[in-house]
Every structure is written in structure tokens, then in C-alpha cells.
């Protein structure tokens, strides 16, 4: 893994020079998480047999439930192809469970929408002030995982449809703000079949910048927040969650 992407000439954020050491630590931690994946598998108790049928439900993990949060994080770090670096800002973790026996089928999350994304913002049609004022009504499907022993046809698209129904209710309960649009970013090596099947809208691709958020040493509550050019472009999908979503984003 390349540890110094901020030196790329397309990265012009002046904070990258100020916080170079902390950004370096962020990428080292990211690499360490990938390398530790094999050692983590023993800590996740999943069924040995393959599961071919299930009736899924979404179960939000309550704020303050440290045991469930640790298990959710462990499953993400073990089985998701992307390194999980932790949730920043607003963040709701969900279990995907089988309604019959409570078996965990997977996990997913909703988190704060990205601050700026040209393709998304142009599609919505809002200006900077409107974006800042209404960004809290957007959420990002940050992570989505079906456990490797689960082989249920169409499960992923069914779960995404459930997220679009259950997610806004949980978002409103926790943050007191309506959720009217969901977004997600899919690695360019994947076409996002489950999002297409769940009627999410493909807007295009990102420009190859990555938002890095990292703790500044041991200073509690202080973080580095920079945009670095890595060249890793991602497909952008969105899903309106109510008929009046556009009106809500311009209020």
C-alpha cells in the first residue's frame, strides 16, 4: 500500500504539509488493519454451514452498546474488503439478522454524507450555502457486508430496500433531522449490482480524492481532516428516500 499519496501534485491541501506525520500514521494503521485480517477471523463466531434462505430484518445498534459495537467493528475489519477505520461524525450501525432465529447475516451502516462531491452536488443543483445548510438530511451508506457463509439470493438488494425504509426513522430518532437522500461510493472494480437492483441511481465517478480523518497524536477530540489525491475513483450512487426530497434539500 502506498503510504504517501498526499505528495501527489494534484493534492493541493496545505494542511497535508502541516500534518504529514499524522497522515503517514493513518495509512500505516490502514495497512496494519489489512494485515491483521487473518488473525481476526477466529474472534468472529459464524456458522460453519452455508445459509441459503433467510427472512432478513434490520436491527440498529443502540448508542452506548459497546459489546455490539465491538462485534460489528470486528466483523467489518475481518470480512469487508475495505479496511474499516472507525465511524466519524453521525454514524448508525445496523445488524442484518434472520427474523426466525436471530442469526447475524451481515452488517451495514449510515453515516454523515461527504462534505462535498461535485457530481452529487451538481445533480442536486444546490449552491454552497444550500449544501451546508441541508447536508444533515443526507446520509452515506458507508459500509455494507453480507457474511461469507450467507448465500441467500437477492439478499443484498432486499436489505438495501429495507435500509431506505428503516434508516430515515432511526436517523430522525437519533439526530432530530429528516433523512431524504442516501448516497454510497462503490469501488471502481465493482459495478454495484445490488444497488442497481434496489433502484439506486448511478451518477458517475469521483475524481480520485480520498477524505482522510485521523487523530492528532494523543490530543483527545482533535483530528486531521484533509482531502488527498490517490487516484482511486469510485462510482457514486444515490437513492431519494421521499417524494419531496428535492424540496427538502432547498429549504
Map residue 36 onto helix, strand or coil.
Answer: coil
Domain topology for 5-36+50-248: Aminopeptidase (3.40.630)
Helix (H) or strand (E) holding 226: strand 223-229
Task: Give percent above pLDDT 70 in the chain.
Answer: 84
122: pLDDT strictly greater than 80: yes
Top-ranked range on mean pLDDT: pick from 63-77, 147-161, 222-236: 147-161
The residue ranges of every structural domain in the chain are 5-36+50-248
Q: What is the pTM of this model?
A: 0.84
pLDDT at residue 204, as a whole number:
96
Are the beta carbons of 132 and 113 closer than 8 angstroms?
A: no
Are the beta carbons of 58 and 159 closer than 8 angstroms?
A: yes
Nearest-angstrom CA–CA distance, 60 and 200: 22
The model's confidence at residue 1, banded by pLDDT at 50, 70 and 90, is very low
- What is the residue-averaged pLDDT of the chain? 86
Q: Quick: pLDDT tens for 33-55.
A: 777 776 666 666 666 668 889 99
pLDDT at residue 4, as a whole number:
43
Instruction: State the first-to-last Cα distance of the chain, in angstroms, to the nearest integer.
Output: 43
Amino acid at each position: 500500500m502506498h503510504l504517501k499519496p498526499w505528495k501527489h501534485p494534484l493534492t493541493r491541501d496545505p494542511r497535508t504539509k502541516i500534518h504529514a506525520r499524522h497522515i503517514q500514521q493513518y495509512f500505516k494503521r490502514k495497512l496494519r488493519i489489512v494485515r491483521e485480517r487473518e488473525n481476526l477471523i477466529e474472534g468472529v463466531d459464524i456458522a460453519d454451514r452455508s445459509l441459503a434462505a433467510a427472512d432478513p430484518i434490520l436491527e440498529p445498534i443502540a448508542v452506548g452498546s459497546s459489546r455490539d459495537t465491538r462485534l460489528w467493528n470486528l466483523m467489518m475489519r475481518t470480512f469487508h474488503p475495505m479496511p474499516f477505520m472507525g465511524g466519524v461524525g453521525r454514524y448508525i450501525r445496523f445488524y442484518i439478522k434472520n427474523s426466525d432465529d436471530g442469526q447475524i447475516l451481515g452488517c451495514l451502516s449510515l453515516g454523515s454524507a461527504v462534505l462535498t462531491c461535485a457530481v452529487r452536488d451538481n445533480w442536486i443543483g444546490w449552491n454552497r450555502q444550500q449544501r451546508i445548510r441541508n447536508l444533515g438530511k443526507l446520509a452515506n451508506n458507508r459500509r455494507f457486508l453480507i457474511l461469507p457463509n450467507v448465500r441467500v439470493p437477492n439478499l443484498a438488494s432486499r436489505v438495501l430496500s429495507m435500509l431506505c425504509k428503516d434508516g430515515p426513522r432511526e436517523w430522525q430518532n437519533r439526530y432530530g433531522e429528516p433523512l431524504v437522500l442516501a448516497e454510497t461510493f462503490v469501488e471502481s472494480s465493482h459495478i454495484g449490482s445490488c444497488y442497481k437492483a434496489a433502484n439506486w441511481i448511478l451518477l458517475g465517478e469521483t475524481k480520485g480524492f480520498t477524505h482522510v480523518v485521523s487523530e492528532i497524536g494523543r490530543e483527545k477530540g482533535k483530528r486531521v481532516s484533509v482531502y488527498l489525491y490517490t487516484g482511486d475513483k469510485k462510482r457514486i450512487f444515490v437513492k431519494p428516500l421521499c417524494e419531496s426530497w428535492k424540496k427538502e434539500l432547498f429549504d
